[in-house]
Structure 1
Amino acid sequence: MKARRLRYAARRRPDRQPWLADRVACLPSIGDDVARYFFDIADGDLRIDETGTECADLDAVRSAAMQILPEIARFEIGNGDRHTFTVIARDVGRRPVFTTTLSLTGLWLVDR
């Protein structure tokens, strides 16, 4: 478990999280009212988003949370045949407003 924590600690920087830095995009057109939302990631460890992203409305929050899940899985999948990735979107008051989960399960159909 210690090695895993170190691995994730190194990935907290935005340049080490391309799926987060590039994919959490819900910026509206100029002039719209926006609010900041935070996208925490749980996959056995909880990684808290301290920066947040501005989103026009809750539909944009939902869309951003769901779109980053495949990217998280792409970069974070490790050994094993079962993986679960969850994104928890929080508002500026740190209250959860939306959550979405992606579960991946592999099953061998032949003898190995």
Structure 2
Amino acid sequence: MRFYFDVTNGEHSRDDIGTELADRDEARAEALAVLAPIAGDVFPDEKACSVSVTVRDSDRRPIFQASLALVEGWID
């Protein structure tokens, strides 16, 4: 089954190629696996930002979304 992974991290990147995976559980795992490296590239340069991945199924309907957010500030 083909799944599409759209990424938003200040800009929206739509996946038009997709990835063949066995099922929804594998698609979820893949979305979570790609989220951390993307966030690692973005977060060090930003004071506040978020990164999200939306998974679409073979009919290109959104079926899953995961996001990470960073909010930072000095306490004193």
Length-normalised TM-score, structure 2: 0.88
Q: Give the match for residue 5 of structure 2.
A: 39
Matched-pair contact (CA < 8 Å) for 2:27–2:55: yes
Q: Which has the higher contact order (CA 8 A, sep 6+)?
A: 2
Deviations along 1:51-100, one digit per CA (max 9) or x if unpaired, are 11111111111111111111001123364311110100001211001000
Q: Give the match for residue 31 of structure 2.
A: 65
Q: Give the match for residue 75 of structure 1.
A: 41
Higher strand proportion: 2
Percent of residue pairs identical: 34
Instruction: Quote the Cα distance in structure 1 between the aligned partners of 2:37 and 2:63.
Output: 21
The two structures, once aligned, show a CA RMSD in angstroms of 1.4
Give the structure with higher Rg (CA). Answer: 1
User: 1:109: how far off?
Assistant: 3.0
Q: Give the match for residue 92 of structure 1.
A: 58
Give the number of equivalent residue pairs. 76
